[in-house]
Amino acid sequence: MATLRTLITADPIDTAGEIAAIQAGRSDIGAVVSFTGLCRDEDGRLDALELEHYPGMAEKEIGRIAAQAAERWEVSALTVIHRHGRIRPGETIVVVVAASTHRHAAFEAAEFVMDFLKTHAPFWKKEHARDGTPTGWVAAKASDDDAKARWKD
């Protein structure tokens, strides 16, 4: 039974701390894979991203995605943390840490979580430009739907 940790938070995410925590006190883990999603500055244009979320459903959906990954691959532990609120360039938006006995399960579980999170977790990014030009909502990408579709079956 995998240890699942999922969290939606307005606070900064401690990626190194999450990687250390997933293996702390255990000796059954042979592989740890982590993905960190960062806020880009878009060539200096961006002042911040505003991450809106649907409280309740965001937690539920990320919990569901993590559980699906843990069912599909033999992971020992899986951590998924997503931030909301105002996020500045260089700051972390999302962290996925997957731990397993052998590396393939951890690699694939982490990728699966990210692909489903992109298309299923209720978060929306709004850009705030540095020069004060009108801000806009980031459009969803068809490539994210394609990335999710490859996990079918």
**Can you say how many angstroms the Cα of residue 62 is from the centroid of all Cα atoms in its chain?**
9
Which of the stretches 13-21, 25-33, 53-61, 99-107 binds other proteins when contact is defined by CB under 8 A? Answer: 53-61
Would you count residue 85 as binding other proteins (CB under 8 A)? Answer: no
SS (H, E, C) the chain: CCEEEEEEECCCCCHHHHHHHHHCCCCCCCEEEEEEEECCCCCCCEEEEEEEECCCHHHHHHHHHHHHHHHHCCEEEEEEEEECEEECCCCEEEEEEEEECCHHHHHHHHHHHHHHHHHHCCEEEEEEECCCCCCCECCCCHHHHHHHHCCCC
Phi, psi dihedral angles at 133 (to 5 degrees): -65, 155
Would you count residue 114 as binding other proteins (CB under 8 A)? Answer: yes
Would you count residue 110 as binding other proteins (CB under 8 A)? Answer: no
- Residue number with CB closer to other proteins (125 or 128): 125
Would you count residue 137 as binding other proteins (CB under 8 A)? Answer: yes
| Choice from 1, 25, 131, 139 touching other proteins (CB under 8 A) | 139
Residue 51 Cβ vs other proteins, minimum distance, rounded to whole Å? 7
- Residue number with CB closer to other proteins (5 or 126): 126
Residue 126 Cβ vs other proteins, minimum distance, rounded to whole Å? 7
| Choice from 119, 128, 129, 148 touching other proteins (CB under 8 A) | 119
In the complex, the residues that contact other proteins under the rule CB under 8 A are: 37, 51-54, 56-57, 60-61, 82, 93-94, 114, 117-126, 137-140
